[in-house]
Chains A and B, each alone.
Chain A
């Protein structure tokens, strides 16, 4: 029953959005979509940059991961990996800001160029910036997956390789590649889909309509040009292509699991010779250039720009902090409640009634949002409600609703498997002692699943706090979160304001992660 209520609410919001989009759809418009050169160019660029980003991320991640594997026993390497992993978890706008501080017209590299008399460097906006950012965000993810795939290679095979004099190429072809090839394909597909809907990166680093993906073009059409026909056309295309991608990814990622680095126990073989040290050292330099320099630029920029006067003398910033916390925490809490509602019913369907197909259908309704990116969902809801309500008045509720829907697939994935495992273990015991309802949830399941709930909460809140797409559509001078504040500051060339905003957002996100994982989740590693 709780799952049914959650499904009805989720589907109602999605249907409301779809109704808004399809209200404006007709045969003529679809013909227009197919023939419109601008739209064709946008589609081509969206797919092209996603493919290129995925390919480059994998090409860079593979040699890096193979080198890193040998040095994982060193704490400094694990620390670097964890720092790099942060770039995948933190709000995208923070990473984009770090890239700008390093590669931007006033960035470190540009300053060095001026120092040597070559003038300012202006390569960050457009395809270069998009690719740089996507590599920065996705290579750590790919490295993580590759390392975990290598983790599955038994120690015995490394020893056989040593005794049979395998050279570097033999090790790669006979041990490493067979272990990683499947996950590498899945990882590439996931990176492709992330880049396909990479709204924040393309909005800030695309530098205008020439380098635009479907979602950003949709935003421009609605927010700047107010061309509803074009927005709807792009929306339909987005739904169609995203559905295909999600179907492909979901069918390949059933056993896809990401573990923390502390669980990595890679077998360290003394198989390498001294020549490989030079190679590994050059890989380390590449890793530092890609990950550590932007993070360093970010930290230094935050520290130098930070001053109390800017915070307390800036009501806009205080207002942004308030809305970031309010909207982020609300979405986080509601998404956890919805996930529990889904999972209670899914558990009953699987364990008690043994109707797995219905459970899968219910889970699918929670994941349906994956084919409707937040900006598109927002566009549809805007089109549906604009003649009924004053959108500005109900904007906070819409933002919370959309962000909740956006993070539910993640929270379901984090809590779901653990919840079902606990249910399988204790279900009979609960029935035997008639432990039911809220007692079962609060007294038994919550303590048993504390870690998963804490991680899900951290992910849900940080994702919601980092949203820029939905807040750009529905935000205003009164309702503005930190990402929007930062984006507007960047647009107005107020780098100091942006730096302070980034610093505060970073602190908020880190606090949420710390409070969730260590205090709520009881993690001690």
Chain B
């Protein structure tokens, strides 16, 4: 379980104050206007931003002083998720061993992930030759290979066309069920996520204004 209690950090125009509990295996959609503090919320959990006060517990362990590298968290960003000089295989393998020297069982695991993501024909392709959807699938592959239990997504599919976005959400759903991971996803097209998320958190000026069941989402919320 993830528990945030009055986690606070000063931003340009306001100070955040997040308090929320997220259960294991949940899929949370973070919604709100640009600049509301969605990315900051994710950065605080990941450890990329250091809170000034408040508490962040993951499975009842205080995380505030734990560096980002020691947290069992993976992130997926809108862009720049992949190392451009590495192949598809290497970009996924890097989460297991950054020096890319894998044992046979580790290699087998990568091949399975690549097959699962339907990327077998691109296994040795360079990143520059992939489409936007394929790139995000490779990035998901890296998340799968890392075996971390919490996945943070910062508007990861916003550069894809609507059909592809739904396809990626379907894939994410399958991964979540298979690996039993908790997903926290900032999204700017919430209507598309209604069938996937457990609930939405509406953020405004650095605070969680409301928690919503997916079916309660409407366009005039903001």
Contacts and interface: CB of A to CB of B under 8 A. Distances in A.
- Is the pairing of A and B real? yes
Interface of A: 154-157, 159-167, 169-170, 173-175, 178, 270-271
Contacts of B80: 154-157
Interface of B: 46-48, 67-69, 71, 73-75, 77, 79-81, 83-86, 94-95, 98-99, 142, 146, 148
Given A170-B98, A170-B99, A174-B94, A163 B69 contact: yes
Interface centre among A156, A161, A163 (most CB of B within 10 A): A163
Interface centre among B84, B98, B142 (most CB of A within 10 A): B98
B79 A163 contact: no
Given A157-B80, A157-B83, A178-B83, A163 B67 contact: no
Given A162-B68, A164-B95, A174 B79 contact: no
Contact of A156 (B81, B85, B146): B81
A228 B47 CA distance: 71
Contacts of B84: 178
Nearest to A170: B98
A156 B85 CA distance: 15
A387 B80 CA distance: 67
A174 B101 CA distance: 13
Nearest to A181: B85
A160 B99 contact: no
Nearest to A169: B99
A174 B86 contact: yes
A6 B57 CA distance: 72
A451 B160 CA distance: 41
Contact of A163 (B68, B83, B85, B99): B68
A335 B75 CA distance: 54
B32 to A, nearest CB: 21
Nearest to A171: B98
Given A174-B86, A178-B84, A270-B68, A163 B98 contact: no
Contacts of A164: 94-95, 98, 146
A159 B46 CA distance: 9
A166 B98 contact: yes
A156 B99 contact: no
Contact of B98 (A155, A156, A167, A178): A167
A118 to B, nearest CB: 47
Nearest to B43: A159
A519 B99 CA distance: 53
14 contacts: A156-B79, A156-B80, A160-B142, A161-B98, A163-B68, A163-B71, A163-B75, A164-B95, A164-B146, A165-B69, A165-B98, A169-B99, A174-B94, A178-B83
Contacts of B48: 159, 162
Interface centre among A159, A160, A270 (most CB of B within 10 A): A160
Contacts of A167: 98
Nearest to B71: A163
Contact of B81 (A160, A165, A178, A270): A160
Contacts of A156: 77, 79-81
A92 B34 CA distance: 52
